[in-house]
Amino acid sequence: MVLAEIAEEVKKCTLCELFRTATNAVPGEGNPEARVMFIGEAPGWHEDKQGKPFVGNSGKFLTELIESAGLERDDVFITNIVKHRPPGNRDPLPDEIAACAGYLERQIAAIDPDVIVTLGRHSMNRYFPGERISKIHGKPKRFGTRLVVPMYHPAAALHNGSLRSTIEDDFKQLPRFLAEQDTERDKRRQEEERPEQGTLF
Ligand code: URA
């Protein structure tokens, strides 16, 4: 399976220096056929210890948010922009993000999600460089067949009353984005099935 192969490569990765200080790589986990994929920033202390994404306090909150949208954590795929923990939880550096980008691209291609949710600034920058999260959070943008929705990072929203209700409201829109994707897929299918004009005679 492609995702398992990528995970094995990530575990052996030496493309940047982060592997030197990390305990475990955190390739990501979830449904290989997920319709929704979440991209966070980088593993923290708990994730580094367990080799799994979003398992600390912000992970618990993320699970609650996923469930508030009528989904289960097992339905979705969760990963990060950087797969090894930056020491002391510092921000990932641009060359670390660049070194890790190939893994993320291959995970996205393998899963082929309908909706990508970026969590926080660093993963937002991959799709919306130069934008401000306070302005564009919760607003989906189409990239080919996918919708990409920037959202606040759960760790930032967890202890901030107004951001917390903002991220809760943004998550509640997910079913609507999935329904929009169903409609778009039906339209594409109908167009594929329609005979080209002029070929009937
Ligand atoms: N924060 C992240 O961005 N990712 C994790 O996996 C955990 C905390």
The pTM of the full predicted model, rounded to 2 decimals, is 0.95
Ligand 1 atom 3 nearest Cα: 41
**192 part of a folded domain:** no
**23 part of a folded domain:** yes
The CATH number given to whatever domain includes residue 50 is 3.40.470.10
Q: How far is CA 3 from CA 28, 29, 48, 107, in A?
A: 9, 9, 19, 6
Q: Taking residues 121-133, report their average pLDDT.
A: 97
**C-alpha 41 – ligand 1 centre gap (Å):** 6
**Domain encompassing residue 92:** 2-178
**144 part of a folded domain:** yes
Cα(78)–Cα(104) distance, integer angstroms: 11
What burial class does residue 179 get, using C-beta atoms within 10 Å of its C-beta: 0-12 exposed, 13-18 middle, 19+ buried?
exposed
**99 part of a folded domain:** yes
Q: Taking residues 98-102, report their average pLDDT.
A: 98
Q: Is the pLDDT of residue 201 over 60?
A: no
Cα(109)–Cα(32) distance, integer angstroms: 11
Residue 29: CB atoms within 10 Å:
19
Q: Is the pLDDT of residue 140 over 90?
A: yes
What atom of ligand 1 comes closest to residue 120's alpha carbon?
Answer: 3
**75 part of a folded domain:** yes
pLDDT mean across residues, the chain:
96
Residue 124: CB atoms within 10 Å:
25
Write the pLDDT tens digit of every residue in 21-75.
999 999 999 999 999 999 999 999 999 999 999 999 999 999 999 999 999 999 9
Q: How many domains does the chain have?
A: 1
Are 167 and 151 contacting, i.e. CB atoms less than 8 angstroms apart? yes
What atom of ligand 1 comes closest to residue 153's alpha carbon?
Answer: 3
Cα(110)–Cα(97) distance, integer angstroms: 20
**106 part of a folded domain:** yes
